[in-house]
Chains A and B, each alone.
Chain A
């Protein structure tokens, strides 16, 4: 779907200042702002194996080091390994003189034909097999070193604490000598209560866990085999560096030492708005489902624009509203936008001052309050304005003056042939409409012919309802949202 709608020509200005196609952005319905993949928080939501689609709970994934225990990849070419069965004849359990068939399994790469047999691994009696796990031969030593340094650091911390407490205690005593007289301290001692605080913390001195320091040797472990000077090297018997580093703890040099590699788990991510921390997208738990619990793709909330027709001095744009609310959109030139934005910012800042009187600082605000606060809105508008004017345009459009009604998405309307209700609109501006789609005429004028590639921009003004308000009994009050859009026209 993204590919179908992805257009590099029409790009929306994200809150963070980067330009993105609409289908690549989210629309935070709390902040009423565009957010792209680079300016949202990503979070791990679900761990799963992309091959067997098994969901793996986080605890289990941690133990298994984020690997699927049943799926393997080829150590030579990274393709998925397939399980193959063979029949062998083994002596029967009841009558050892008779042979009975038994199924055995091995793994084979469908792509490069590598097999577990090639690696000298015996076939397994079960399909999932207990293929060798690559164990780190050094784990015991590393474990001991870990213990050692942990205990050292513990002791270090303990001694520092002691020092600090000693200091504090002596200060304390000298300051409070009269308040807590010596007799009072003695009484505390008699009753078994700890001395004023500090001694109660006394712990046993941590013990150092000792390890043997490593011993160096005069011999290195890499003396050359004299064969290297006389034998012909078979290239395929030596692993490549990619194959080596895929098994960090083993890094086999000989191809015959390669073993099957557990497939890495994948994640499904959820996205959160950086500003208000609300979820923008959250997938369903089931890894095979492509549905979302929450999905605030801008595609469904912000009017979509495509170039419908383009000539040297004429252009038609098709607008489409995919949200469930009808909306009035206005297309503003960048200059019009600047005027509106400036007066808005002024107004907002005035109410900012009033809010301050009510003693509400930004830090004490949470959730909705923060998103809606005039200070936030003013700041957002300012950034938007600044970013919009950073973009260069060399073509201006003659935009319709009147707001244009974009009906809500109605899947059934697609099949209705009836013409839309009578709307009083300028037939020169609105050329045609059907359902939630409208084609408008936007004649263009080149203002700067220096560059061959032409680019133009305008600002969408449309009303959107802040999330959380739909449920209230009062009619939801849409807030005006401004989103700059830039269109690359190429050579015209």
Chain B
């Protein structure tokens, strides 16, 4: 089977917990970005791939999902395509094992190349040292990469992703929002529905929420915590958000402004996006701390919320002055990169670039090998996988 034939570009897949990006190596963007779930029917909502209870269920869902990807979106014969999987170094092994089994055994793909998402992100920039910050759906993960080597021991991961914002939004709405029917009468939201669907919450976050500025955030906290403190800033105007039927939700400006604050709150053990960045830098070798701070790469759909990156930098600068850090860290400047991609598919693009090089032939894990060993290399090996090419970059 002539796999190396130019016509048969390898497939690049990144199966996130919220969205799957898929396309071909050597292309500038994924062909499609779709929710990582099976299409729902009239009777029931689609099931997210990562929300499985047994391995068997995951297996059968992945078979259906990938069948869809190959024949509805990419329109290719899987037995003729090498596969590049972009995944987080922190991806659960179980998921990877089932995915490998489905690809090699059910779809009989000739080879799979697993690449770590944080590392390949640097291929989109032509640099070899950076702190990669991935703000995804379920969690935010950060891994420093120094001279092409991911410093696994310095990784940070916290459940501070879009899901946390959605949950905060939900609780704020249930606390404050009203539902306005046709007649104009207003009822508390809690009395109409005790829960909001993931789709509605995501829609509200994506379309109406934003990350407010540091001074306003401080003012909000002060107003809430001190009775005789300053008055809170004037919130943005309230809007009506249509729910099902003729009902409208009164969406307060304050809810839109405050939902994302969950990412920056320091009251619980001082863990916020900003502290994660400083901790990751502190866990890295001294010589690399300044270069890392001057090479921040923020990726993942979560950072597409307006104002997020701006705020993150302001928070880090502010937190540096905190006694916990001021004695241990002295960063000159904080600098962020702008990869040539939309944030939610930056890591995918890195995989598409790497997969277009000779690495696809030399570093992939062939089907024959898998069938003999019945296992895929674990992430320790994966981290080495791409090192050589990297250490030369830049």
Contact = CB atoms under 8 A, between A and B. Distances in A.
Interface stretch (A60-68, A99-107, A288-296, A426-434): A60-68
Given A216-B294, A240-B206, A230 B76 contact: no
Given A149-B354, A223-B307, A245-B33, A214 B210 contact: no
Interface stretch (A4-12, A39-47, A320-328, A365-373): A39-47
A345 interface: no
A235 interface: yes
Given A44-B76, A245-B34, A216 B237 contact: no
B325 interface: no
Given A248-B342, A251-B342, A44 B71 contact: yes
Nearest to B360: A153
A275 B7 CA distance: 27
B55 interface: no
Interface string B19-39: 101000010111111100000
A276 interface: no
Interface string A223-247: 1100011111101001111001100
B340 A141 contact: yes
Given A214-B125, A216-B296, A249-B28, A230 B237 contact: yes
Interface string A412-442: 0000000000000000000000000000000
A466 interface: no
A241 B336 contact: no
B334 interface: yes
Nearest to A142: B28
Nearest to B393: A152
A216 B77 contact: no
A142 B216 CA distance: 38
B202 A241 contact: yes
Contacts of A85: none
A241 B71 contact: no
B340 A138 contact: yes
B15 to A, nearest CB: 15
Interface string A74-93: 00000000000000000000
A214 B241 CA distance: 41
A251 B125 CA distance: 21
Nearest to B74: A66
A143 B353 CA distance: 9
B200 to A, nearest CB: 11
Contacts of A315: none
B358 A154 contact: yes
A146 to B, nearest CB: 6
Contact of A66 (B34, B75, B123, B356): B75
Contacts of B392: 152, 156
A213 interface: yes
A238 B208 contact: yes
Interface string B212-225: 11001000000000
B357 interface: yes
Contacts of B240: 235
A211 interface: yes
Contacts of B4: none
A229 B238 CA distance: 11
B165 interface: no
A44 B31 CA distance: 18
Interface string B61-76: 0010001001111111
Interface stretch (B43-51, B110-118, B264-272, B308-316): B308-316
A220 interface: yes
Contacts of A139: 28
Given A62-B7, A145-B353, A154-B358, A248 B334 contact: no
Nearest to A210: B126
A216, A239, A265 interface centre (most CB from chain B within 10 Å):
A216
Contacts of B312: 220
Nearest to A237: B207
B353 A142 contact: yes
5 closest cross-chain pairs (CB), A and B: A138-B340, A216-B335, A153-B357, A214-B125, A220-B309
15 contacts: A44-B71, A66-B73, A149-B354, A156-B388, A213-B393, A213-B394, A216-B295, A228-B236, A235-B240, A238-B207, A239-B207, A245-B32, A248-B33, A248-B345, A249-B28
Given A62-B7, A229-B234, 14 more contacts: A42-B70, A139-B28, A146-B353, A149-B389, A153-B359, A156-B358, A216-B336, A218-B313, A220-B336, A228-B210, A238-B207, A248-B33, A248-B345, A269-B71
Interface of A: 38, 41-44, 47, 58-59, 61-62, 65-66, 136, 138-139, 141-143, 145-146, 148-150, 152-154, 156-157, 211-214, 216-218, 220-224, 228-233, 235, 238-241, 244-245, 248-249, 251, 264-267, 269
